[in-house]
Structure 1
Amino acid sequence: MDPKVVYETDRLVVRDWAEQDGDRVFDIYRRWEVSRWLGAVPRVMADRGAASKVIQRWSERNQDPTYGIWAVEERSSGTVAGTVLLVPLPEPSDGTASKGEVEVGWHFHPDAWGRGLATESARGAIEHGFRAGLSEIHAVVRPDNTASLAVCHRLGMTPLGRTNRWYGASLEAFLI
């Protein structure tokens, strides 16, 4: 069975992950240059089996049609370039009450960097969220992740400053 397509852009098909994507998931997340920006304590994916487990976990999360962690496939080649996500932000780690905030995010293989794919897929995710009724969407980025900070600016997101609100880390927050 083919994975469900969530949305498409000029160059991209954004779809659910499938088990056959496991080698690419592992190739993306085994790289320190990708994983260093992710999570409170960044770490690389240890083995191919971890990729299968994460695909299963993402598939379970993708049951609500508004939210998901999706594969970004290049239409021209069929190559999975990376991940785009639209997910509820976790409970705040700074002790404040959750306001039901939603996050857009992206993680791409280095062979896909510098071609505007993160911006294009994130713009599509934001449009998807707004069509589903969301009124605002956040992004949170490590302060030294200049590439992702640039994506936020290209998306027209408003900088909100540094926060420790989510993921137990000091992050730059953005809103659109």
Structure 2
Amino acid sequence: MEINGSQRLSYRFITAKDADFLWHLDQDEAVMRYITGGKKTSMADIHGVFLPRLQAYADENLGWGMWKVSLKASPHQGIGWVLVRPMGFFTSQRQPGNIELGWRFHRESWGNGYATEAATAVRDGQLKLGIKQFSAIALPENRASINVMEKLGMSFSHHLHYQDAHFDEQVVVYTQHFQ
């Protein structure tokens, strides 16, 4: 799957070669606040946990994986990423027809609508592949991510105790269905 550039952004499929970019993004405690409680990710965790998890679901033909987001004006400098994978991929309740969208952006890019623009571009690429349901999760206090979900047209679906080998929290689930 290819994601066409949107109005201000370009996209590239993330691979293990992007370890430095992923590590750098996770070095801001504010970025990590609702993911790890503000704990920065070590390079050992990027290589030992993050990249192996990414490889477990990455399939560029299906668009599953993570997409590096850059401003068109500076295409080699990533401002964040958008995640695309089946909902519940690392749990016993995997939903291949329900695609989970997620995002993480450098703090300097917050408040500009980039997460919404990028998630819309990725979702629209998935729509072309016939996917009709999209979901996203967040901690209930993460208003910024919930705002992005709402701007995407998602609605609150339910609360969920989301648990996998690396995450164990009560989250809110927002969902969007297309006909």
TM (norm. structure 2) is 0.79
Any residues of structure 2 matched to 1:1-176 within 5 Å, and which?
Answer: 6-17=3-14, 21-38=18-35, 43-47=39-43, 50-51=45-46, 54=50, 58=54, 61-66=57-62, 67-78=64-75, 79-90=77-88, 97-100=93-96, 101-165=98-162, 167=164, 168-176=168-176
- 2:58 and 2:94 map into 1 onto residues whose CA distance is 21
- 2:121 and 2:86 map into 1 onto residues whose CA distance is 17
- 1:117 and 1:142 map into 2 onto residues whose CA distance is 20
Deviation at 1:102, TM superposition (A): 1.9
Question: Where in structure 2 are there 5+ consecutive unaligned residues?
Answer: none
- 1:163 and 1:61 map into 2 onto residues whose CA distance is 22
* Kept after mapping to 1: 8 A contact 2:100/2:135: yes
Distance verdict in 2 for CA 1:80–1:99, change over 3 Å: closer
Give a deviation string over 1:16-36, Cα, whole Å, max 9, x none: 125664433222112221223
* Kept after mapping to 1: 8 A contact 2:3/2:122: no
Divergent runs of 4+, >6 A: none
SS at match of 1:70: strand
Question: Where in structure 1 are there 5+ consecutive unaligned residues?
Answer: none
* Kept after mapping to 1: 8 A contact 2:22/2:46: yes
The amino acid that maps onto 2:172 is E
- Cα-Cα RMSD: 2.8
Deviation at 1:105, TM superposition (A): 0.6
- 1:76 and 1:59 map into 2 onto residues whose CA distance is 29
- The structure with the largest strand share of the pair is 2
The aligned length equals 169
The amino acid that maps onto 2:126 is G
* Kept after mapping to 2: 8 A contact 1:16/1:59: no
